Amino acid sequence: MRTGSLRSEEEVSEMYKSFDVARSKPEVNPTSAGGSTPPKALMFHAIYRNPGGEEQSFANESKLLESIGYETVQCTTENSKISRGPWAAVTAVFSPRVLVDALRIIRSERPDIVYVNNLWPAFSASLLVAARTAAIPTLQAVRNYRLATPSAKLRADGTCTECGSTNYFTSCVRNGCYGNSRLQSLVCYLSAAAVKLSVLGWKQHRFVATSAMTARLVEGRLIDSGRVVVRPNFGFEENEPEFRSTDSVVCVSRLTPEKGVLDLVRNWPQGAGSPSLTVLGDGPQYGEISSISAALDNVTLAGFTSHEDVIEILRDSAASVVPSQWAEPFGRVAIESMSVGTPVIYATSGALADIVGPGGTPLHTLEESSIREALDRIFGADDRSAIRRSAYRHYSNRFTSSKAATSMRELINEVRS
């Protein structure tokens, strides 16, 4: 249950200029977590300028910790509020203000564990230095490839999606792979270097990757290896859904080049018998996708949609499609789709093949013929309800919150030992 912070909003703002604070009580009796008072998790997340799946992941991790008996204290800041200029570049690498505030709240709250979701760019490595100084065991999520390359986006072979190189310093900085800016790319590279240095030799710290592919691509760029553990995303749907029969397809995605949505819309099959496609999401390619979809009879661009509505639309769809053209670290929408019994048409790059498996069907290219073949495997099946049952069964075997709770307990015990 969300209860707000212990202090008034004004007091919190005065004490912690680097972040906002909220608090949630545990959902279970604290004695079940091993003590008379609940253990406490101090959580940090820098909210993206264009919020997406990582924000939902942060909320889910908080809820999961509460479900296993932890009181959570969530410290968040919005990257959209960062002012531009030389000082912003410095603080993206290391922020004295964040260090002071993080040490202050650690000493005030005395957490048992620190959980870091996203540092870049508002928090920087300062958070990790504070947690290490205070000797607090720390889990740090790895949900993209920013620890390896400034663009944060890689292909499965380890090449940067922007410049095609594996020399992330000279090539990515020279080509301005982050923000089309050499300076910003350099700052991003230095920020990642500061993170790696701040955890060097720290035995009570783990990088937590969402998939084996993410772990493989990131671990090779760390100074000391053996620090990355794999723990997938999860969902809270624990009951078998009603298996509906519908004829529409949905794509839920941030509208950026590596996500592949533009080519999916451009090549979506037309004509009699072709299913409709609804695209949910926002991003830099919204205008271009809007122009193309407006000329198509069976494609609708619905824009940003609340998470609650996304789940209901997934539930009412015959299939979801994840057309990513990079090494997708996980693909949260895939498990959300399977959790309501909706099979996933997935691009074969990245971790999606392992994540979806029997819960869907592959999409080998974004050419119209390949899209048609994938759709035919869903809509032409003799028993479409069997496909939906298979999707849910795969989810329930691997990605439920109950399984995530077990792995979280094990991980906390490991990092605290």
Residue 31 structure tokens? 């004695």
Residue 417 has a pLDDT of: 86
Q: Name the residue range of residue 201's domain.
A: 9-234+401-416
Residues 283 and 196 in one domain: no
DSSP string, 272-326: TTPPEEEEE--STTHHHHHHHHHT-TTEEEEE---HHHHHHHHHTSSEEEE---S
pLDDT value at position 1? 37
Same domain? For 366 and 408 the reply is no
The residue ranges of the chain whose pLDDT is under 70 are 1-14, 28-35
* Greatest C-alpha distance within the chain: 65
Tell me, what's the pLDDT at 64?
Answer: 97
Distance CA(125)–CA(91), nearest Å, equals 9
378 belongs to a structural domain: yes
Q: What is the pTM of this model?
A: 0.90
Whether 118 and 212 share a structural domain: yes
Report the number of distinct structural domains present in the chain.
2
Do 39 and 58 share a structural domain? yes
Task: Indicate whether 307 and 186 sit together in one domain.
Answer: no
293 and 328 housed in the same domain: yes
* Residue 349 located in a structural domain: yes
> Does residue 294 lie within any of the structural domains?
yes
Provide the CATH number for the domain around residue 385: 3.40.50.2000
Looking at the domain assignment, is residue 3 inside a domain? Answer: no
Are 204 and 269 contained in the same domain? no
Based on the fold, state whether residues 376 and 412 are members of the same structural domain: no
Q: Is residue 1 part of a domain?
A: no
The Cα 187–Cα 178 span in angstroms is 9
Statement to judge: residues 388 and 408 lie in one domain: no
Q: Residue 183 falls within a domain, yes or no?
A: yes
Q: Is the dihedral of CA 138, 71, 331, 258 positive or negative?
A: negative
The Cα–Cα gap between 112 and 273 comes to 57
* Euclidean distance between CA atoms 375 and 321, whole angstroms: 10
pLDDT at 221: 87
Q: Are residues 86 and 46 in the same domain?
A: yes
In 3D, which of 131, 106, 33, 30 has the Cα closest to residue 409? Answer: 33
Residue 408 sits in the same domain as residue 382: no
Please indicate, yes or no, if residue 163 is contained in any of the structural domains.
yes
Does 82 fall in a domain? yes
391 and 302 both lie in a single domain = yes
- The reported pLDDT for the residue numbered 239 is 82
